[in-house]
Chain A
Amino acid sequence: MGDLLAARSQMAVSLGFHILFAVVGIAMPVLMVIAETRWHRTGDAMYLELAKRWAKGTAILFAVGAVSGTVLSFELGLLWPSFMRFAGAIIGMPFSLEGFAFFAEAIFLGVYLYGWERISPRAHIAAGTVVAVSGAASALFVVIANAWMNTPAGFRLQSGLPVDVDPIAAMLTPAAFPEVLHMLLAAYAATGFAVAGIHAMMLLRDRRNAFHRRALAVALIVGVPAAIVQPFSGDISARYVARWQPPKLAAMEGQFRTEAGAPLRIGGIPDVQAERTRWALEIPGGLSLLAFHDAHAVVHGLDAVPRRDWPPVPVVHVAFQVMVALGTYLALLGLWIVVEAWRRRDLAANRWLMRAVALASPMGFLCIEAGWTVTEVGRQPWIIFGVMRTSDAVTPMPGLIVPFLVISALYCFLGVVVVWLLYDLVMRSPITRESDGAAAAPAAA
């Protein structure tokens, strides 16, 4: 393995690991605050128990997210020093703001976790709300920094160096809005369904468990709306990519040739040598329609750029297909849940629905990993799209395979431990039963 590939792999492992915990840090506080609010409204102590148990899990996940995020902030320099030297002054601003959002998150999570008996219930919910808001703000700022790498703005190039640096313009880069929207919705959908899926699994064993019924309802309130809205946000993202990063869209769709009325390909494997995508289900004019809202629009294929500027097409195409497939599953499942809840059916009693929700548990996270693969691999061979190549940004230190393997081993170990701890936490859930009459159907989302 060469140094560049090792550095890219280490970055991929570090990001892929951190994003799981970051996403939980964004969405779990919302679930906890909803549960705690319901406890105050209804006086039902089970909701308090729920908030406390979720808080325990969140505390573990947040800690791992905080330290793995620290690793990333250093790795930006450790692996890509030339990139940071070029870009630090331009995109340091969102990172700095993220620093303060992270401060707020960490401070009020401490207050939330350790303050149950020290502050008033109102202050406690307020602390949880601050954690939720600052978690979303953290995501906003970090994703803005990533958006800048896709659509660099706020500077002018003069003999290879940035001049006229404008950090504010850099933050308002075109990719910022679609990326942030898509990521935040993904965080709520993935976490909501992951949590709902776990409790659905427990309900399949014990349908009347009062604890899991309440947990399911709260988790779906967060997950379902986000999953249903997400395809619309995906449409905004795709149209932005079509406009600003045509090679990325071409790789996502396996579109080798520039053509009018380009077809939408579902599935298929791009063959880079033959410059065509095989075994895909093609819908005539579909891509043009989706990308430009015009079935006859011209879509730029990979042939529009030199081959050395192509991203790794098969990886991007397959990752995109996986993301769309899983996202569609979650959106359709969300609609099914809305219909069932609308008809005032008992969700937990519907075994097929519970199975479908249980199956959805890992899907949002897989979706997020696939989506980031599309964004990051699709940007290659550039670290700053059209401005700096990834190969020019890597650190001069040889032997980068060693830190890559060390960090990977560390994260594998932590991943296993976290899963085991959470399993243990779920298995020790309360087993209070509930009579059929009292079964609370979740409110329609």
Chain B
Amino acid sequence: MQIKGFGIALLGLAVAVGCTDGNSGFKESVKNREPDAKYVGQAVGNFSADEWYPGGQLGTTDNVTAGCYEDETPAVEKQGLMTAFNLGQAAFERKYTTSTAPFKGLGPAYVRSSCLDCHPGYGHGKRQYQYRAEFGNGYLLVIYHPVDDQNSDDGPYVAEVTGMPQTKATYPFLPPIDEEQIDIQWKNVTEMESGLPMQFPDGEEYSLIYPEVNIPESAFNTSPTPYQTGAVAFRLESTIGIIGSGLLDAIPEDSIREQYRSEARFVDLNPAFWDKDANDFAAGAWYGYEKLGEGRYADGTPASTGTKLLKRFTYAMTRATLQDGAGANAIWNITNVSRSDRPYLYTTKAWAKAMSENAQVIAAIKADPSSPYYANGTDEGIKDAVLNLLDPSTNQFDNQWHNFTPEMSDDQYYNFMVWHRGLSIPRARNLNRKEVQLGKEVFNRIGCATCHRPSWKTGSDNYWKPAIYADKELPRYQDQTIWPYTDMIQHRLYMKNGIHGSWCRTTPLWGRGLSRTNTGAEDRLHDNRARNVIEAIMWHGYSDKSEGYRATKNFYNLSKEERDAVVEFINSI
């Protein structure tokens, strides 16, 4: 039982309050503030009663204290799924080990040993100054061949390391990348490309920082290295919030189509997703049966050949349904823990080759006849076993070298997905306050709400689920009005050292104001470059090509009172 059933006010503390202290992001409290508890659930000022419940009645927790990101939705309790939720939570929080139950199967190469490392306090990752695969570091390295051979944001991922590159390996293997050689430098923006001054008209200054990442060729334990196949560029991508993901999954595809249509009249949307001429989704917007595999809808209807679902998750919108989304993928590939529907390793041929040719690796295996890579005990036999067993195309459960068994049980995976789809959104805070009401008015007036669309209505939430647990139910969110503040569409901001691929889905703003309460940090944007809300907003106007430039310019020209009000609003929703 985790939902705290009461309407206490935001402890959330800092969020609610006053002026920013330079760039520290630390807010000042205000004396004699009254708790908002007595207003919860009431229409106040320009807020409707239901805006207190951003996740709707089935998806909101009334808890707004530390730990509230961990709460289950009321739907979980209502559907009798608490035991599964709690077991799934453990799968998220605990460290995976090589072979100690209940969380076993780590490696042979891995990104982190625990989900919580990347999602500290269930929130966004924290800005890092060195790369270590440990708690708080929510960064995934992005390693790609830039199209301009220089530092373009665009270009294909290198093939020598996995798309989510691994810096850890279990004995006796070496990690694909030696993390100690990764260099992260934070640079100051001296001038906005758009020409916006770095001082508001009233004299208040702001500053912006961005990362530069370098990984030398010597850090790669692969054969070949990425440098041997082309120019290499690097970016960082941090985890985003995981709360409320199930609610986003419940937004009807037709509603999202209408949103695309309404925006396509004014901006050029990603052509991979939207066919402007047809005024409908492009082929690239869909995720089909060939990738999803056999499944079933919540109402029991089979989802067989021909099934296609709209992509809506991850920055690059690479995934459709949550049940085959980032979390469903990560519980397999971040730890490299296999399960019955994931019999393959998340590795590369280049790493497998390098390991098979490493004398120390061969010697270590040779000294351990119990090793699954021991084969006939000869150097050549071990080399062959390593090369093939580490290969991402080898079925780990059915091959000629060594047959492993699934490391995560089907029940564990189901529990994990109940937990994932069952995470709630904390209720809004301080909507009774005049500053927050002003913030809402200004947020809408200056154009922020164009992309950060305030609300959606879920439909029947006839969600897709895979065959592995097709006869079991997940938390379901039918007919809810939700307030995520995202249009579920990608836009381009053209930031300095921007996001890989240039296009980025509008990040939901709900619950983010409680980040500091839950995680101790409030870093924002895809690589945590923004140290507070002001910086996050101003990065939207770094370039005048940015689709957020006009709204940012409007923000820039606000009075301090109105700027602060927008910040308070964003921290309250």
Q: Do A and B actually bind?
A: no
Which residues of B are in contact with A by a Cβ distance under 8 Å?
none
